[in-house]
């Protein structure tokens, strides 16, 4: 394959049809970091029918996600494999930059992650659910505990109460509620199917040769996800009709009120997509990060001891810490930040589609990928302070509530 002089450097040899796909090994973020180390801060790859640019430099990432260039790559590529799972690309993380995305982001930011909402969650919901988890752990102190499932249950319980004002139902002899188990089953069903179907995005012919039935299985899993989102709306309506006078409206309650005023904007699909997106993304990533933090502390007893000493000296042993204690616990905050840096729940940021494209590449076939893992301090030229907000989010699509989420 003859490389255009105007394209960034990359591997010289590309296979017919497959392009550079055979060069990518698992895990993907390590493979791409290795390519960046060999070819430079920006690497051009031809993945099947798609041209891809891999960003592996902090300075270049900042340049890409600022000014006019930020607008040019603010969209998402529309992959066939995630069309069903993303409600036809309408979820917050995968919608194209535009009016729909701005509306969905505003709802999520104002009604879920605003400073007021975070304070409510910290004071009421999180503290209550955390105490409930500790009580359940204490009741089974002599038996083996699978912490990952407990943390998933905690994340799911908090989100369910904030989004729909519903409490998960569980028995003391179970490590996970029925609702959390259903959500985990849906996530575990969708993830591998999207991985298999992902090859369709680069070699479309494979979709017509879907001998394993991945497309049908993916639709079934997505339908279960939609049913779950609808069930949360119905539960909220039942609570409202039964005389619930709680003035702390849930996110679903707010959206149903907005739907009355602007039904053409806040459609059922809009609400289902946002609920499913936040539940799916918020539970797995949060519980995974907490699990990594616990693992790192157990493997570094000196750090665990210092963190415990900081908590004991500032809070004592008579109560659990709360949000008002956080400003006095800088070492604990550093542990959280370091966990997010070393083991991000999603080591590869979502790809960006180009609306302006280089020569030899069609706009619909061109995208950029940014490796969160490779942009950490693992690269000698990168510092976490120097990286700043780009570490949490990217340009115009980045979240103004990144610090709020980290604190939460």
pLDDT for the residue numbered 408: 54
Mean pLDDT of the chain: 77
User: Which range, 122-136, 196-210, 224-238, has the best average confidence (pLDDT)?
Assistant: 122-136
Question: 304 pLDDT exceeds 90?
Answer: yes
Query: Is it the case that residue 41 has pLDDT exceeding 70?
Result: yes
CA angle 75, 164, 179 (to 5 degrees): 95
Spatial distance between the Cα atoms of 200 and 197, rounded to a whole number of angstroms: 6
State the pLDDT at residue 26: 76
Which alpha helices (DSSP H) does 6-51 contain, by range? 28-39
| Dist CA 76 CA 59 (whole Å) | 22
Q: Determine the Cα–Cα distance for residues 366 and 356; give it in Å rounded to an integer.
A: 9
Nearest CA to 104 out of 405, 351, 397 is that of: 397
Q: Is the dihedral of CA 301, 307, 312, 315 positive or negative?
A: negative
The count of other CB atoms within 10 Å of the CB of residue 50 is 22
* Helix, strand or coil, per DSSP, at residue 51: strand
Confidence of residue 185 (pLDDT cuts 50, 70, 90): confident
* pLDDT at 60 (0 to 100): 83
The residue with greater pLDDT, 364 or 61, is 61
Q: If you average pLDDT over residues 211-239, what whole number do you get? A: 65
Q: Which pLDDT band, with edges at 50, 70 and 90, does 394 fall under?
A: low
pLDDT at 364 over 50: no
Sign of the CA dihedral 342, 344, 346, 350? negative
**Pairing mode of beta strands 352-353, 366-370:** antiparallel
Return the DSSP state at 12. Answer: S
Please say if the pLDDT value at position 302 is more than 90. Answer: yes
Whether 94 shows a pLDDT value over 80: the answer reads yes
Residue 290 has pLDDT above 80, yes or no: yes
> Is cis: bond before 33, omega within 30 of 0?
no
Q: What is the DSSP letter of 52?
A: E
Task: Identify which has the larger pLDDT, 298 or 342.
Answer: 298
pLDDT band at 172 (very low <50, low <70, confident <90, very high): low
Look at residue 299 and tell me whether its pLDDT is greater than 90: yes
Q: What is the pLDDT of residue 236?
A: 57
- pLDDT of res. 245: 46
Q: How confident is the model at residue 190 (pLDDT cuts 50, 70, 90)?
A: confident
CB 111 within 8 A of CB 401: no
Q: What is the pLDDT of residue 370?
A: 65
- Rounded to whole angstroms, how far apart are CA atoms 147 and 137? 9
Calculate what percentage of the chain has a pLDDT beyond 90: 9
Q: 10-14, 79-83, 264-268, 359-363: which has the minimum mean pLDDT?
A: 359-363
Token representation of residue 256: 């149903």
Write down the pLDDT at residue 380.
43
Which 3-state string (H, E, C) describes 267-329? Answer: CHHHHHHHHHHHHHHHHHHHHHHHHHHHHHHHHCHHHHHHHHHHHHHHCCCCCCCCHHHHHHC
CATH 1.10.630.10 in the chain, residues? 79-279
Show the tokens assigned to 50: 């798609």
| pLDDT digits 0-9 by tens, 124-164 | 788 888 888 888 888 877 788 888 888 988 888 888 887 77
Predicted confidence at residue 375, as pLDDT, reads 57
What pLDDT was estimated at residue 373?
56
Q: Over 90: is that where the pLDDT of 296 sits?
A: yes
pLDDT digits (tens, 9 = 90+) for 249-281: 677 788 888 888 888 888 888 888 888 788 877
| 84 vs 305: which has the higher pLDDT | 305
Give residue 340's Cα distance to chain centre.
12
The half-sphere exposure of 85 on its side-chain side, counting CA atoms within 13 A, is 27
Please check the confidence at residue 312 and state whether its pLDDT lies above 80: yes
The answer, yes or no, to whether residue 405 has pLDDT greater than 90, is no
Contacts of 81 (CB under 8 A, 6+ apart): 194, 197, 198, 199, 200, 201, 218
For residues 104 and 400, what is the distance between their CA atoms, to the nearest angstrom? 14
Q: Which CATH superfamily is domain 79-279 in?
A: Cytochrome P450 (1.10.630.10)
Higher pLDDT, 68 or 197: 68
Q: Which residue has the higher pLDDT, 112 or 71?
A: 71
The pLDDT of residue 368 is 73
């Amino acid at each position: 394959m003859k490389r255009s002089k105007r394209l960034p450097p990359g591997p010289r040899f590309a296979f017919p049809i497959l392009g550079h796909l055979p060069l990518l090994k698992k895990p993907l973020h390590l493979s791409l970091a290795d390519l960046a180390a060999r070819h430079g801060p920006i690497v051009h790859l031809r993945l099947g029918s798609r041209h891809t640019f891999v960003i592996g430099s902090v300075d270049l990432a900042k340049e890409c996600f600022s000014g006019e260039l930020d607008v040019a790559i603010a969209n998402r590529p529309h992959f066939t494999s995630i069309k069903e799972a993303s409600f036809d690309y309408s979820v917050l993380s995968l919608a194209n930059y535009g009016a729909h995305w701005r509306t969905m982001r505003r709802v999520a930011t104002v009604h879920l992650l605003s400073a007021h909402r975070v304070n409510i969650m910290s004071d009421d919901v999180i503290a209550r659910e955390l105490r409930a988890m500790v009580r359940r752990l204490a009741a089974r102190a002599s038996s083996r505990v699978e912490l990952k499932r407990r943390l998933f249950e905690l994340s799911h319980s908090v989100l369910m109460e904030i989004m729909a004002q519903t409490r998960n139902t569980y028995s003391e002899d179970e490590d996970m509620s029925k609702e959390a188990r259903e959500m985990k089953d849906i996530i575990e069903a969708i993830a591998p199917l999207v991985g298999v179907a992902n090859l369709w995005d680069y070699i479309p012919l494979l979709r017509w040769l879907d001998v394993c039935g991945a497309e049908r299985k993916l639709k079934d899993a997505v339908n279960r996800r939609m049913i779950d989102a609808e069930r949360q709306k119905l539960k909220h309506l039942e609570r409202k009709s039964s005389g619930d006078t709680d003035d702390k409206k849930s996110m679903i309650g707010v959206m149903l009120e907005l739907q009355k005023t602007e039904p053409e904007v806040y459609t059922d699909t809009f609400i289902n997509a946002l609920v499913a997106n936040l539940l799916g993304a918020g539970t797995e990533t949060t519980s995974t990060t907490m699990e990594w933090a616990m693992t790192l502390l157990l493997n570094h007893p000196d750090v665990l001891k210092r963190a415990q000493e900081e908590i004991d000296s500032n809070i004592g042993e008579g109560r659990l810490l709360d949000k008002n204690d956080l400003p006095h616990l800088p070492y604990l905050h550093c542990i959280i930040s370091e966990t997010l840096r070393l083991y991000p729940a999603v080591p590869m940021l979502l790809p960006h589609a180009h609306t302006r494209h280089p020569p030899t590449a069609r706009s619909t076939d061109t995208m950029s990928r940014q490796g969160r893992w490779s942009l950490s301090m693992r690269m000698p030229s990168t510092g976490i302070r120097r990286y700043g907000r780009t570490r949490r989010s990217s340009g115009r699509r980045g979240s103004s509530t990144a610090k709020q989420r980290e604190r939460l």
